[in-house]
């Protein structure tokens, strides 16, 4: 399950940022997980909950924002929500030419004391 290794990476990132800013505490972290990122947001959240003990994020408010997948149809140019990368256009049933969102996995912000 790669969500555990991603959770470790996020904790390490938070620690590096805290070290850079000379702080020992992070109050809040916001993480964006797109539906098409390949990361299961609930599993990632559970992994993070298990791994933050005795870390810089132990007392932090952890917010995980789930973002929907977005696609744009190559044929009719309709933009639509996608739940999987190979979703077809709901209007004309063609495949989208481009994924326009929802493939993100990133730390949006850290609030340090």
Query: pLDDT tens digits, the chain, 113 residues: what are they?
Result: 699 999 999 999 999 999 998 998 899 999 999 999 999 999 999 999 999 999 999 999 999 999 999 999 999 999 999 988 888 899 999 887 788 899 999 999 999 87
Asked whether residue 16 is domain-assigned, the answer is yes
Contacts 24+ apart (CB under 8 A), 72-76: 72/96, 72/97, 72/98, 72/100, 73/97, 74/98
Asked whether residue 59 is domain-assigned, the answer is yes
Q: What is the CATH number of the domain that holds 67?
A: 3.30.2320.50
Give the per-residue pLDDT at 113. 77
The total number of structural domains in the chain stands at 1
Asked whether residue 89 is domain-assigned, the answer is no
Give the per-residue pLDDT at 97. 72
Asked whether residue 90 is domain-assigned, the answer is no
Asked whether residue 33 is domain-assigned, the answer is yes
Helices and strands counted in the chain (H then E): 2, 6
Residue 79 backbone phi and psi in degrees, to 5: -95, 135
Give the per-residue pLDDT at 1. 61
Asked whether residue 52 is domain-assigned, the answer is yes
Give the per-residue pLDDT at 85. 84
Distance (Å, whole) CA 64 – CA 75: 34
């Amino acid at each position: 399950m790669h969500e555990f290794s991603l959770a470790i990476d996020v904790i390490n990132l938070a620690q590096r940022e805290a070290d850079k800013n000379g702080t020992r505490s992070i109050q809040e972290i916001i993480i964006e997980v797109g539906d098409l990122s390949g990361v299961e947001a609930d599993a990632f959240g559970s992994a993070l909950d298990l791994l933050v003990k005795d870390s810089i994020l132990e007392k932090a408010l952890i917010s995980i924002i789930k973002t929907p997948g977005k696609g744009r149809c190559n044929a009719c140019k309709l933009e639509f929500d996608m739940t999987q990368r190979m979703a077809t256009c709901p209007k004309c049933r063609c495949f989208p030419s481009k994924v326009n969102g929802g493939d993100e996995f990133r730390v949006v912000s850290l609030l340090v004391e």
